[in-house]
């Protein structure tokens, strides 16, 4: 798998972070991204390098200023319980640097997905759902689960810091768990409905965090897209 690097965008801290002005397409090529997306027809997830170390460090400072809350200890239905031990921020201000990053990445994804061979139907793909998660050292992480079917084409998870075993598995018991190594600065791509050739939504989990892990989840929520 090819690896890629890039800077990003911010707004309300322009003076301090103007060097994050925009995602440079020359560093994150459509061909590299298209290759990674194509591989999801035979793999549940892949990881590609996305941000340089100093950019991740700058984002960590911005992320830690967000208003986090504890996730519900148990989510899901009685037949599909998910155990959660992390902090999250779902209400990220629209002026925050992360939304600029989401828009810049979204443009690259749309260009890469423009090939009819990658999607089952034409799509107005964009990252309109953003969540920041923080897993402290020693937390339980999150048990095996699948992302909701309304998140389509591809789910992207950007790792900003820390460690932990991020695994794909066969079912809710965690059977056959296989780690998808993803270091800070890397973007995990997970197949979702609407990506041509993609199989079922993959079960995945996170465990064994020993250093504070911060991630940014980027998704296209097709239900939001219908009402925007």
Q: How far apart are CA 113 and CA 107, in angstroms?
A: 10
Q: How far apart are CA 211 and CA 92, in angstroms?
A: 24
Q: How far apart are CA 151 and CA 91, in angstroms?
A: 18
pLDDT, averaged across the chain: 86
Tell me, yes or no, whether 8 lies in a domain: no
Tell me, yes or no, whether 37 lies in a domain: yes
Q: How far apart are CA 145 and CA 186, in angstroms?
A: 22
| DSSP category for residue 19 | G
Tell me, yes or no, whether 155 lies in a domain: yes
| DSSP category for residue 18 | G
The predicted model gives 45-50 an average pLDDT of 91
Q: Tokens 């994150």 belong to which residue?
A: 28
Q: Judge whether residue 18 has pLDDT over 90.
A: no
Q: Please give the pLDDT value at position 226.
A: 57
b/e string for 176-208 if b means 16 or more Cβ within 10 A? Answer: ebeebebebbbbbbbbbbbbbebeebbbbbbbe
Q: Judge whether residue 21 has pLDDT over 70.
A: no
With both helix axes pointing from N to C terminus, report the angle between 53-64 and 97-112 in degrees, rounded to the nearest 10: 130
Describe the chain by its helix, strand, coil percentages, rounded to 5: 20, 30, 50
Q: Please give the pLDDT value at position 28.
A: 57
Q: Judge whether residue 220 has pLDDT over 80.
A: yes
Q: Judge whether residue 109 has pLDDT over 80.
A: yes
Q: Judge whether residue 31 has pLDDT over 90.
A: no
> How does pLDDT run across 174-193, given as a tens digit for each residue?
999 999 999 999 999 999 99
Please give the residue range of the domain that contains residue 87.
Answer: 14-227
- Reference 56, options 187, 205, 211; nearest CA is 187
Q: Please give the pLDDT value at position 224.
A: 85
The predicted model gives 111-130 an average pLDDT of 89
Percent pLDDT > 70 in the chain is 86
Q: Judge whether residue 35 has pLDDT over 80.
A: yes
Q: Please give the pLDDT value at position 202.
A: 96
pTM exceeds 0.85 for this model:
yes
The pair of three-digit structure tokens given for residue 157, joined into one six-digit string = 């998870």
Strand pairing class (141-145; 74-75): unpaired
Q: Judge whether residue 9 has pLDDT over 80.
A: no
Q: What are phi and psi of 193, to 5 degrees?
A: -55, 140
Q: What are phi and psi of 124, to 5 degrees?
A: -95, 45
Q: Please give the pLDDT value at position 199.
A: 85
Total domains present in the chain: 1
Q: How far apart are CA 22 and CA 169, in angstroms?
A: 36
| DSSP category for residue 201 | P
Q: Tokens 């965090």 belong to which residue?
A: 209
- Tell me if 186 sits within 8 A of 155, measured CB to CB: no
CATH classification at residue 185: 2.60.120.620
Residue 138 Ramachandran class (φ > 0 left, ψ -120 to 50 alpha, else beta): left
Q: Judge whether residue 12 has pLDDT over 50.
A: no
The helix/strand/coil state of 53 is helix
Tell me, yes or no, whether 46 lies in a domain: yes
């Amino acid at each position: 798998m090819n690896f890629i690097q890039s800077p990003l965008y911010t707004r309300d801290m322009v003076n301090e972070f103007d060097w994050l002005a925009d995602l440079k397409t020359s560093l994150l090529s459509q061909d590299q991204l298209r290759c990674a997306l194509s591989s999801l027809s035979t793999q549940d997830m892949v990881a590609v390098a996305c941000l340089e170390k100093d950019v991740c460090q700058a984002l960590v400072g911005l992320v830690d200023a967000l208003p986090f809350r504890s996730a519900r200890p148990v989510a899901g239905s009685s037949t599909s319980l998910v155990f959660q031990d992390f902090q999250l921020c779902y209400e990220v201000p629209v002026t925050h640097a992360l939304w600029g990053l989401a828009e810049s990445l979204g443009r690259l994804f749309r260009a890469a997905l423009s090939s009819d061979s990658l999607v089952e139907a034409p799509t107005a793909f964009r990252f309109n759902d953003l969540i920041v998660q923080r897993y402290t050292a020693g937390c339980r992480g999150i048990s095996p689960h699948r992302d909701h079917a309304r998140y389509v084409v591809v789910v992207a998870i950007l790792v900003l810091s820390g460690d932990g075993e991020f695994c794909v598995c066969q079912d809710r018991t965690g059977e056959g768990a296989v780690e998808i190594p993803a270091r800070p600065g890397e973007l995990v791509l997970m197949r979702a409905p609407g990506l041509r050739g993609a199989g079922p939504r993959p079960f995945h989990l996170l465990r064994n965090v020993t250093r504070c892990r911060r991630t940014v989840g980027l998704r296209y929520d097709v239900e939001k897209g219908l009402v925007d």
